A and B are shown apart, each in its own frame.
Chain A
Amino acid sequence: MEPIRKHNGLVYPLNRANVDTDQIIPKQFLKRISRQGFGQYVFYNWRFDSKDKLREDFSLNQPKYEGTSILVAGENFGCGSSREHAPWALQDYGFRVIIAPSYADIFYNNCTKNGILPVKLTEAEVQTLITNAEADQYYLTVDLETKKVFDNQGFEATFDLDNYKREMLLNGWDEIAVTLTHADKISQFEEARN
């Protein structure tokens, strides 16, 4: 996967809690057998009406968010289904960083396997970012090495991410290759049980 160290980008605010993976990518788009091309379907039922026409009243469709790469949302983001198509769709649409007060466990994990950085900030910090990004085009920098989020107007916040996931993201490692360096231990474990 592509490493992520420091990212600067336009913020898209999605002021909703409990956004589930069925919203991020509806089930009718899960039938493809490749990892590519899911971006066009992200938030499909919000971005398009029942006749597949773009809904101009949905904020992500507004020109001011074109080219966004940082998604800021409410608590428990990515709850529900384990579908990795959700981070695939977000990434293919252009998102490299997500910021929310909390995430569902499986979704959080899935992001880190795909080079998407899921940042946890406090509820108050997230609300500040949402307010800023709703008001105007708003850019943030996210630095994984120093674990800091900041803008050029004085906002700065720190976040936590466990070291293992951080290393994986910083280096873009193939996790299976890492695990296979322990292949002898796996074999020993299997033999000991038989």
Chain B
Amino acid sequence: MRKPKTVIEKVWEKHVVHQEEGKPDLLYIDLHLVHEVTSPQAFEGLRMNNRKVRRPERTFATMDHNVPTIHRNVIKDVVSKTQMETLKQNCEEFGVPLADIHHPDQGIVHVIGPELGLTQPGKTIVCGDSHTSTHGAFGALAFGIGTSEVEHVLATQTIWQQKPKTLNVKVNGKLGTGVTAKDLILAIIGKFGVKFGTGYVIEYTGEAIRNLSMEGRMTICNMSIEAGARAGLISPDDTTVEFLRGRRHVPKGDAFDVLAEEWKALATDEGAVYDEQVEIDADEIEPQVTWGTNPGMCIPVSANVPTVADAIDDNDREEIKHALEYMGLEGGESISSVAIEHVFIGSCTNSRFADLQRAAEIVKGHKVSPNVQAIVVPGSHSVKAQAEKEGIDAIFKEAGFEWRDAGCSMCLAMNDDVVPEGERCASTSNRNFEGRQGTGARTHLVSPEMAAAAAIKGHFVDVRTLGVPTLS
């Protein structure tokens, strides 16, 4: 009998171009996504060495990190503008397809890949962005790379990779009502820490994962990097197939059905062995809020912020002390008593149509607290258009949210969407690092529903207590 394999091993083995004792494998890359921030030096490297892009048709570029989300026609920041123009010139010179700022396909690179059907099960996908792990939701082996590797992939369509160890994160049981994929991934990182995935590729398995929509699965895989893992996958199944059916870059008709069977055959075999396994029970998870300066510093909404007395050792004590100080928290207070000034609904973690729709359910009929500035930044032009068609934008606008154009925006605040020093933001993004949303800005990571609830109340609140009919 054939040895049972994980989806990770199956995808890997199909892409090995060259193998040699004592060296990493040379892997073929099916899809290379490119954006304006991590690519200019790579294209420059090609030019300096008189090299070409080997497979422009396997490369796809967009502008997301830097783009303004209002007043798109006048980009005030000259340096940002240069970076965007540089991408445009590079794409023209090297023949790479580009969805620029005004293109209807523009959006956050990890939102548009799946949306266009470029992301498919079994593919190897790279991008000069650590949240490339998002595409693993489809059973693709997708990981972030640095700019030198971007140049390498442009020139050779391959990458040298040490075969990773495999880690099974098994999620048993069911998520409760009002508890989302975001709460689950935060709880996983909170429980196992920000480096438990380092050196591994994760596969998420178990009942709670199978029950998630593709949007939920993308949220989970997106934050694999926050657990230290470059890639996180979910075995393809019918949910994966139905999400991709009819999308622009997948085949039509019978050809699709043939491909769909191949995709499903990539799923991890019964009895496959992982190098490591951890388990968590979905039933016990509450909505989560991060209190500190890394995503592992996270607690249930009903809990109190830790104090230095909760530290397990000296290093931990230093970390808690630094984090409390930066976050302007005493330690020991209830997280739901903490007032916020900003709400950001967006980012490659939580800016898809389903995310906005769920947040809108909470917002409907309420007003944003007078002390709060709240913005919604759809993940792509197409998400924005769909939301406007279905009246989602109106719900947000009536409540007092600002409704913006697509981009990475306040997740990393490279554009003008910055949280001022010392102010506090409930954010649906992925990183609560010091200075991430602005110098001195204080970030609390939450689900879109929890962000919506916080916008209304002006402080964190358990979304399940708001009496929203769809949550009951």
Contact = CB atoms under 8 A, between A and B. Distances in A.
Interface string A1-39: 000000000000001111010110011101111110000
Interface in B171-229: 194-195, 198-199, 225, 228
A163 B128 CA distance: 25
Contacts of A31: 37, 66, 77, 79-80, 82-83, 414
Interface residues of A, number: 51
B138 interface: no
Interface in B1-44: 17-18, 22-24, 26, 28, 37-38, 40-41, 44
A23 B80 contact: no
A22 B144 CA distance: 16
A53 interface: no
Interface in A61-120: 74-76, 79-84, 87, 102-106, 109-110, 113-114
Contact of B146 (A17, A106, A185): A106
B155 interface: yes
Given A30-B37, A104-B198, A106-B145, A164 B22 contact: yes
A33 B86 contact: yes
Contacts of B56: none
A189 B158 CA distance: 11
A79 B83 CA distance: 25
Interface in B120-134: 128-130
Contact of A189 (B17, B77, B129, B413): B17
A162 B21 CA distance: 12
Contacts of B195: 18, 75-76, 79, 102, 104
Given A27-B413, A33-B83, A102 B44 contact: no
B156 A180 contact: yes
A84 B17 contact: no
B315 A182 contact: no
Interface stretch (B332-340, B378-386, B435-443): B435-443
B160 interface: yes
Contacts of A45: 434-435, 439-440
Nearest to B413: A27
A57 interface: no
A15 B322 CA distance: 12
A111 B149 CA distance: 12
A124 interface: no
A22 B160 contact: no
B28 A105 contact: no
Given A80-B433, A84-B147, A110-B148, A35 B41 contact: yes
Contacts of A82: 38, 128-130, 144-146
Contacts of A16: 318-319, 322
Contacts of A20: 294, 431, 433
B389 to A, nearest CB: 33
Contacts, number: 166
A104 B439 contact: no
Contacts of B162: 162
A136 interface: no
A176 interface: yes
A33 B26 contact: no
- B: interface residue count bin: 35 or more
A54 interface: no
A106 B132 CA distance: 12
A102 to B, nearest CB: 7
B146 A104 contact: no
Given A18-B294, A27-B413, A176-B156, A182 B18 contact: yes
Nearest to B58: A190
Contact of B414 (A23, A27, A102, A110): A27
Contacts of A157: none
B49 interface: yes
B471 to A, nearest CB: 33
Contact of B440 (A30, A50, A102, A175): A50
Nearest to A30: B37
A54 to B, nearest CB: 15
A186 B41 CA distance: 24
A179 B79 contact: no
Contacts of A176: 49, 51, 151-152, 155-156
Nearest to B155: A176
A75 to B, nearest CB: 7
9 contacts: A15-B318, A30-B65, A79-B195, A87-B146, A106-B130, A109-B149, A110-B148, A164-B160, A185-B26
What are the nearest 8 A-B pairs in CB distance?
A113-B148, A33-B40, A84-B146, A110-B146, A82-B144, A84-B147, A82-B130, A31-B79
Given A79-B228, A186-B157, A189-B28, 15 more contacts: A17-B315, A22-B431, A22-B435, A33-B83, A79-B195, A79-B294, A82-B38, A83-B146, A84-B128, A105-B228, A106-B130, A106-B144, A162-B24, A176-B151, A186-B158
